[in-house]
Amino acid sequence: MIAYLIVDVDDLLQHLEARGVALDIQTVAANLRSSAALAAGLQQPEVTAVAIADWNRYRRPKGNAGVSVQQVFATQGYDLFNVPQRANITESLVRHYFAGDAEPLDELIIASTRDDMLALIHHVPTTSRTRVRVWGEEQPAGLRDVIFQPLEVILGIPSKTVALYIDFENISISLTEQGYLVNIDALLSGMIRKAQTYGQVVHMAAYAPWGQRGALGPMVDNTGREVSEEVPSRLAQANIDPVYSLPGKNSADMRIAKEVLDDSSHPDSADVFIIASGDRDFNEVFSAVRARNKQVVVWGVRGSTSRLVESNPALEVAYIEDFCQLERRPDIAPPEPQPQQNVPEFRPSQWTSVILQLDQLLLAAARDSVSVEELIARLIEVRAVPNPDRAHDLIWQAASQGLLRLDEQAGTVALQDAHPVVQKTRLVRDRIVHRVVNTLHVRNWEYVNYGFLLKGISMDHGLSGPGLNTSDAWRSEWVDALVRERILVRELVPHRHNPEDLVPVIKLPAHGQPVSPAQMLGVNREQVEEMIRRVIVSVEQFTSFRGFAWCPLGSLHRRLRPFDPSTTFQQAVEELAEEGAIIISEYDNPRSEYKTKGISLVEHAPRVQHVLGERNAFIRALLELYDQRRPITRETIREVTGLEGADLDLWISIMQAENVLKAVPGQHDRYSLFRTHHTVCMVADEDEAAAADAEET
């Protein structure tokens, strides 16, 4: 397959400069090349990438960073083609690359916003099967059968504008109350980095009674030095306006609300409004801004954010501690272990085929070992080795490395389960196959888009550890390895919106798979059962408190994501639906013109009644400790409930996640009961009503 990527560097840099976009040129070059390879369904070296420019203009480094544009494109594997005069650009390219007996192209990609580059399409050798793509500013006029994609999309240039409003007093105090050491450097860099993921940030402001001692919690910088008095100047250095508000809870709220409403009313206002505050007083402001067709994002602190805000289905809620690298105070929690430095990436190697194919044979045969001849035959079958001699050498080397147990007398071979390479290889295989199988089953798809799979793997909490899940290149390499081992199948299928365009997809083998998907899923029943309890409790609490019949499924998943190691949430929801304990449907959303996918409980379902009965019994035990003025600790809860071990830990965790219990800062293993919590009051009222009925009887 012959594929060319032609990049008009002069035009590209001028276009970025005119848009006011500051992108790292190395990232631009790499993104263009990797996107071309993905579009063509090839590996990067198989795509001929040509960077066209008047290279005499780029002999000196560009900007203060000392970046040589010429060197960057050369390093990324581009063929540098010098064109001093643009009038001859098409003629020069054709003469150099496509003259004479040049073979027809299968794929031609032109990255340029200029019309003079498009003339190349009519002068290169093509066939009826050749795909031509243009990555530019607008759809080329008069060109049929050309696939157009906006250059901004390919390069990942933000298309939305963002405004950020920080209730700094609220956020700093909330973080301190939740046991975090407020590092101003980490806080600001994390907020700015997160805001930039939504688009181009055009306005940032932070509100607090600056200069009032004691108004803010203690803050340090990266060196550990106390810098509370320096916060306004550090905000200004980060291009965040420090806006003064009077001390007191409502002062900053009113100032932010007024400015958000004023700013969102302008015709050239931002597309995305981010309010960093977990205060419920902003709910009406959020509704007003959304009514103006603006996206509203709320940043809060877990445990200090209003439930009204968290349960608002029209809002996107994120937690600051999740994207700012803040540490816990030493008196609240032990320091987390430092990540290992300079750990090499765990990539497929010569041992991968031996481990995976032997493991497949062992699982299929349900034995601890198989004959060496069986493994040799399998390695030859999957073309991991060319002949039996090479297979025997590879097996012997793997045994000498401690990966295998080789019994030469019996002629059998087994895996050394405790070896780290064996364990990591199995983990990578299981997590990727798990992701494919579960996606196909839950979404009822025939295949998984290659890019969709890579994104899913990147978010898999179960695939973590030193050297694992490091980049898209790493993930692609392992998916390709599983394809080579015939554990997965890679195909090119017509794009659903453009049948002339082929896209790479991943499937499961249709026949001959030695291990069933159920075996590969390796479902952890304990994790699924725990998630089922969390889902039922969380949905019931949301619907009963809000007076709704359903809970937004996306909001539910966000709340439970910290307890979802991979796809446990999907499995739990699927199992509850099959039992008839929940209903998943599209519901009319009073806060949006679009329907929202939601989940509702079937209250009479046995599983629902059982879990809610467990929850109510646990809350009654907490009320008993509260009424007796006894400290609420793990030990006293165990005494009252009779729960032990994992069951006790689970219900304490659920109560904390649902804001019924809160850890007491500075006191190990001690909790406070939110006595006026909706669910606690509901259980207490039911008990009082039952007692009153009993007295009347």
Tell me which long-range contacts 508-512 makes (C-beta under 8 A, separation of at least 24). 508/436, 508/437, 508/440, 512/486
Does 58 map to a domain? yes
Average pLDDT over residues 88-108: 85
Does 41 map to a domain? yes
Contacts of 670 (CB under 8 A, 6+ apart): 631, 632, 633, 663, 664
Highest-scoring range by mean pLDDT, 304-313, 489-498, 612-621: 612-621
Same-domain check for residues 456 and 370: no
Q: Residue 606: what pLDDT?
A: 94
Same-domain check for residues 208 and 128: no
Does 342 map to a domain? no
Same-domain check for residues 682 and 621: yes
Q: Report how far residue 85's alpha carbon sits from residue 198's, in angstroms, rounded to the nearest whole number.
A: 39
Average pLDDT over residues 117-138: 86
Average pLDDT over residues 503-530: 66
Same-domain check for residues 149 and 174: no
Q: Report how far residue 599's alpha carbon sits from residue 577's, in angstroms, rounded to the nearest whole number.
A: 10
Does 336 map to a domain? no
For the purposes of burial, counting CB atoms within 10 Å of the CB of 426, is it exposed (0-12), middle (13-18) or buried (19 or more)?
A: middle
For the purposes of burial, counting CB atoms within 10 Å of the CB of 308, is it exposed (0-12), middle (13-18) or buried (19 or more)?
A: middle
The DSSP letter of residue 226 is B
Q: Report how far residue 136's alpha carbon sits from residue 132's, in angstroms, rounded to the nearest whole number.
A: 13
Note whether 289 and 256 are within 8 A (CB): no
- Quote the tokens at residue 284: 């009406």
Instruction: List the alpha helices (DSSP H) in 41-137.
Output: 69-75, 89-97, 115-118
Same-domain check for residues 613 and 686: yes
**Lowest mean pLDDT: which of 59-73, 131-145, 401-415, 636-650?**
59-73
Amino acid at residue number 443: R
Q: How far is CA 233 from the centre of its chain?
A: 33
CATH code: domain of residue 147: 3.40.50
Amino acid at residue number 162: V
Percentage of the residues of the chain whose pLDDT score is greater than 70: 88
Same-domain check for residues 384 and 476: no
Using DSSP's 3-state secondary structure scheme, residue 585 falls into strand
Closest alpha carbon to 228 in 208, 247, 248: 208
Q: Quote the number of domains for the chain.
A: 6
Does 34 map to a domain? yes
Same-domain check for residues 177 and 40: no
Query: pLDDT tier at 535 (50, 70, 90 boundaries)?
Result: very high
Same-domain check for residues 468 and 578: no
pLDDT, the chain, mean = 83
Burial call 135-156: b when 16+ CB within 10 Å, e when fewer? bbbeebeeeeebeebebbebbe
* Residue 675 structural domain: 608-696
**Lowest mean pLDDT: which of 35-49, 295-309, 330-344, 634-648?**
330-344
Q: Residue 613: what pLDDT?
A: 95
Same-domain check for residues 14 and 143: yes
Q: Report how far residue 16's alpha carbon sits from residue 200's, in angstroms, rounded to the nearest whole number.
A: 14
Same-domain check for residues 426 and 411: no
The DSSP letter of residue 345 is P
Q: Report how far residue 171's alpha carbon sits from residue 567's, in angstroms, rounded to the nearest whole number.
A: 32
- Quote the tokens at residue 32: 């263009």
The string of DSSP codes covering 125-193 is -EEEEEEEEEEESSPPTT-TTEEEEEHHHHHT---SEEEEEEEHHHHHHHHHHTTEEEEHHHHHHHHHH
Closest alpha carbon to 605 in 540, 527, 681: 540
Last residue of a domain, one of 600, 616, 644: 600
Note whether 11 and 117 are within 8 A (CB): yes
CA distances from 655 to 322, 615, 636, 672 (A): 20, 9, 15, 11
**Is residue 75 predicted with pLDDT exceeding 90?**
no
**Lowest mean pLDDT: which of 119-123, 669-673, 682-686, 691-695?**
691-695
Same-domain check for residues 472 and 587: no
Last residue of a domain, one of 130, 155, 180: 155
Query: pLDDT tier at 632 (50, 70, 90 boundaries)?
Result: very high
Does 568 map to a domain? yes
What does the pLDDT look like over 579-623, one tens digit per residue?
Answer: 999 998 888 766 556 677 889 999 999 999 999 999 999 999 999
pTM: 0.39
Q: How far is CA 628 from the centre of its chain?
A: 45
The string of DSSP codes covering 506-560 is EE--SS--SS-HHHHH---HHHHHHHHHHHHHHHHHHHHHHT-S-EEHHHHHHHH
**Is residue 177 predicted with pLDDT exceeding 90?**
no
Does 131 map to a domain? yes
Strand order in the sheet with 632-633: 632-633, 670-673, 661-663
Query: Which comes out higher in pLDDT, residue 315 or 623?
Result: 623
Q: Residue 457: what pLDDT?
A: 86
- Quote the tokens at residue 449: 């888009």
Same-domain check for residues 151 and 166: no
Closest alpha carbon to 367 in 412, 419, 430: 412
- Quote the tokens at residue 620: 């009654």
Note whether 619 and 632 are within 8 A (CB): no
First-residue to last-residue Cα distance in the chain = 86
Does 337 map to a domain? no
Last residue of a domain, one of 392, 418, 444: 418
